[in-house]
Amino acid sequence: MWKNLYQKTMYEAYKTKEHLGYKIVEFENMFAVLWNNQNVPYYNIIHCDKFGQKELDIIKQNIPDTFLCIASNHEIVEDLANVKKGHATYLMKLDVKEKIINNSQFKIVKVSDLETLKQFCDIAAEVYDLTKDKDELIKSFANETNLENCFKYVGYINDEPAGMIEFSEGKNAAYASWGAVREKFRRQGLYKAIFAYAINYEFDRGIKTILLNSSEMGREAYKKMGFVPLTSRYNYVLDK
């Protein structure tokens, strides 16, 4: 299937993680990334150029009874049973020409053990309202702390875990996800510091293109950091 750079990078990143239980299911014009823990099935994502009745029928025939989120390059123009529309988001790209000067005094740590992984998941649970799923997230990520192409970071304020981000690499780019700061620590510069730290690490590894998927709220902030919009992405939910 045709893939934009973000989809291609995500496909490559998860393809290298299939030994950890993730699964990629490929179709003619779309692919599904199935999460390695189906106790949190809403991380299953169908990536496609467009989504309509034809694509829905293919999914029902090949991966039935599965909760799926749909990430489409084009907006659905027909009403489909059990497909709920979400908000449009924006794929964005940053071409890094040099390392970012980061004079931050924040402590930033790359997750490499279970303790810091739990801190990462604590922040995710609080910010993304996933408290009931925190233990399942830890199970999902438990074997990822030493991967060669996926890096999680935790940033601290006064020695308290306060923010996080994850970078996953494909062959020619890395995409950022799970970026967040606890509410009480916001507007102190921590997120930019974690982001710069992670970007510089990628730059040292030879990865100079950074991708992300932004909400409407975050788009302007990322543009100020140098990111340029690539295309809109339309998000939907296909219930069982």
Report residue 237 as tokens.
């939910």
CA contacts within 13 A on the Cβ side of 195: 21
Residue-wise pLDDT tens digits, 70-106: 999 999 998 998 999 988 999 999 999 999 988 788 9
Report residue 71 as tokens.
């990430």
Alpha-carbon distance 81 to 84, whole Å? 8
Q: What does each of the 240 residues of the chain score in pLDDT, given as a tens digit?
A: 568 999 999 999 999 999 999 999 999 889 999 999 999 998 999 999 999 999 999 999 999 889 999 999 999 998 998 999 988 999 999 999 999 988 788 999 999 999 999 999 999 999 999 999 999 999 999 999 999 999 999 999 999 999 999 999 999 999 999 999 999 999 999 999 999 999 999 999 999 999 999 998 889 999 999 999 999 999 999 986
Residue 13 phi, psi (nearest 5): -65, -45
* pTM, entire model: 0.94
Residue 36, class by beta-carbon neighbours within 10 Å (0-12 exposed, 13-18 middle, 19+ buried)?
buried
Q: How far is CA 26 from CA 17, 30, 73, in A?
A: 16, 6, 17
Could you tell me if 169 and 149 are in contact, meaning their C-beta atoms sit under 8 angstroms apart? Answer: yes
Specify the DSSP class assigned to residue 101.
Answer: P
Residues forming a β-bridge with 70:
46, 236
Alpha-carbon distance 86 to 81, whole Å? 15
